[in-house]
């Protein structure tokens, strides 16, 4: 699975769309009938693009959801596939920021909001994968201690027995 290339293509498409909002905003008050027709065609194209991007990002959400599920079942998140997931998380957060600060044309606000929600869901999945990878590759520090482990075990047994009485 080459999720990185697919994800980056989806990111670039979304960023290009956000840039297109500014162009559509310039045509808010058209002067001629021709400009009105062009403005409408531009808004329809933006709406269609938003819908297609939303569908594509929902597919990414399914892919990353399955990756999380598979990783949890397998118990191996230290694979090299996940080594660059942090870059992808950073890029998606940048897209989220751009979407949040952009002002879409009023005709596409609902599609824009739906797209933002899907992007946030994908970011959540990516963060889950990133956290699983970080946990898997983290080097744990060993602390030498003088604790009496028999006493610690006795304390745990005592606490468990008392919990049974209290409950």
Q: What is the pLDDT of residues 113-129, one digit of tens each?
A: 999 999 999 999 999 99
Q: What is the pLDDT of residue 56?
A: 93
How many structural domains compose the chain? Answer: 1
pLDDT at 27 over 80: no
Let me know if residue 75 belongs to a domain.
Answer: yes
**CA-atom Rg of the chain in angstroms:** 25
Alpha helices for the chain (secondary structure H): 3-25, 33-74, 85-101, 109-137, 149-166
**Cα-to-chain-centroid distance, residue 16:** 19
Return the higher-pLDDT residue of 119 and 34. 119
Let me know if residue 104 belongs to a domain.
Answer: yes
pLDDT at 42 over 70: yes
**Angle, helix 3-25 to helix 33-74, in steps of 10 degrees:** 160
Let me know if residue 148 belongs to a domain.
Answer: no
Q: What is the pLDDT of residues 56-98, one digit of tens each?
A: 999 999 999 998 898 888 877 666 777 788 888 999 999 999 8
Let me know if residue 151 belongs to a domain.
Answer: no
Q: What is the pLDDT of residue 20?
A: 64
Q: Please state, for a pLDDT cut of 70, what percent of the chain lies above it.
A: 78
Let me know if residue 165 belongs to a domain.
Answer: no
Query: Residue 51 sits in which domain range?
Result: 3-139
Let me know if residue 26 belongs to a domain.
Answer: yes
């Amino acid at each position: 699975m080459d999720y990185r290339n697919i994800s980056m293509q989806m990111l670039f498409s979304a960023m290009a769309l956000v840039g297109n909002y500014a162009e559509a905003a310039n045509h808010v008050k058209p002067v001629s009938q021709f400009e009105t027709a062009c403005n409408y065609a531009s808004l329809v194209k933006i709406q269609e693009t938003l819908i297609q991007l939303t569908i594509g990002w929902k597919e990414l959400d399914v892919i990353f959801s399955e990756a999380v599920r598979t990783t949890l079942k397998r118990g191996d998140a230290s694979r090299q596939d996940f080594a660059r997931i942090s870059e992808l998380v950073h890029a998606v957060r940048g897209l989220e920021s751009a979407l949040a600060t952009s002002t879409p044309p009023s005709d596409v606000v609902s599609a824009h909001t739906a797209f933002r929600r899907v992007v946030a869901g994908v970011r959540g999945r990516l963060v889950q994968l990133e956290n699983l990878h970080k946990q898997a590759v983290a080097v744990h520090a060993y602390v030498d201690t003088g604790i009496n482990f028999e006493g610690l075990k006795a304390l745990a047994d005592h606490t468990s027995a008392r919990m049974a009485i209290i409950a």
